[in-house]
Structure formats: structure tokens, C-alpha cells
Homo-oligomer: A and B are copies of this chain.
Amino acid sequence: MGAPEETRNYRIGEVAERLGVTTRTIRYYEELGLLVPLGDRREGGHRIYDGGSIARLQQVLKLRDLLGLSLDEILALAEEEGALRDTWENDPSDRDRRRVLAQAQPLIMRQLELVRARQITLSRFARELRKTLRTIEQRRAALEAAPVPPSGLTSAGRSSAAR
């Protein structure tokens, strides 16, 4: 019983929960033209999505969260890609196929370069944090070797000028 996962349909609440966003976010993206539900849904009907919708929304969230793109930038990307996908799926000639592939390639490469740039800055950040951790460790070790005993209760008589 139940449709196979591939062809299943989802309501907005299910999609939201799966991807860790609110339904408001999904409706807002629809308002911007970033994500269109299936079927007609003329005024008031419940929105319906499928696996493809989920995949596309996931892509939007990656571009937003991992690369920090604005929704306008993401929309531009999605429109370019959508046009290519449309051509690809509507019985294109071989010449059309060549053109679509030639235009899709730089689109993907640009994203990959953004990802690489992020990876580099993240690596630098990680290196700094590890260096800070090492410094802390060294100072702790130095203090362990120092005259003050590890069990604090015995150091009551430390000299101090005030009082």
C-alpha cells in the first residue's frame, strides 16, 4: 500500500518539516517565483508537491545557506537552469542538446567555484581555531607545571598587596 517514494505527493507541511523550514518560507518562495506547486490550485486549494519539488527547494536552500546567495541571485540561476531543462525535456534536436549542454556547463562551474572559494576561507578559519586551541592547551600545560597546586582549596594564603 501507498505510492512508491518516487511518485509520492506531499503537502506543504511535510515538505517544510523534511527540509527544516517553515511553510511561510515555502509560500514566500512561491511568491517570488522560486518554487511552483503542482496542478492548478486555483485560489485557496491546498498546495501539492512531489519529489522534484523537494529536490529543487533543497537546491535553493543550499545556495542560500552554504553560498549565501540572495533570493534574487538564486532566482536568476533557477530561471536559467529551468529554461535549459525545459528545452532538454521537450524532444530537442541534437543541435538543441549541444546548445543546452554548452550553456549548462558554465552555470555549474560558477557554482563550483563559489563552493571552492568558501571551502578555502573555511579552511583558513578552521586553521585559526585549531591554532587558538593549541595555544590554550600549551598555557594550561604550563600552569599545570607551575607552583600553584592543582587542588584549589590548599592555596588560601596567596600574597596580595590589597588587604
Binding site for B on A (CB under 8 A): 62, 65-66, 68, 93-95, 97-98, 101-102, 104-105, 108-109, 111-112, 115-116, 118-119, 121-123, 125-126, 129-130, 132-133, 136-137, 139-140, 143, 146, 148, 152, 155, 158
Q: Are B140 and A95 in contact (CB under 8 A)?
A: no
Q: With both chains docked as a complex, state the minimum distance between the C-beta of A115 and any C-beta of chain B, in angstroms.
A: 5
Q: Are B122 and A136 in contact (CB under 8 A)?
A: no
Q: Are A136 and B97 in contact (CB under 8 A)?
A: no
Q: Are B143 and A129 in contact (CB under 8 A)?
A: no
Q: State how many copies of this chain the complex holds.
A: 2
Q: Are A129 and B112 in contact (CB under 8 A)?
A: yes
Q: With both chains docked as a complex, state the minimum distance between the C-beta of A139 and any C-beta of chain B, in angstroms.
A: 6
Majority-rule SS of A interface residues: helix
Name A130's contact: one of B112, B137, B139, B158 (CB within 8 Å): B112
Q: Are B108 and A136 in contact (CB under 8 A)?
A: yes
Chain B minimum-CB-distance residue to A98? B143
Q: Are A95 and B136 in contact (CB under 8 A)?
A: no
Going nearest first, the 7 A-B pairs with the smallest beta carbon separation are A94-B148, A112-B129, A115-B126, A101-B140, A105-B136, A108-B132, A101-B136
12 CB-based A-B contacts, threshold 8 Å: A65-B68, A68-B68, A93-B158, A95-B148, A97-B143, A101-B140, A104-B136, A105-B137, A105-B140, A108-B132, A112-B129, A115-B126
Chain B positions within 8 Å of A123 at CB level: 119
Chain B positions within 8 Å of A109 at CB level: 133
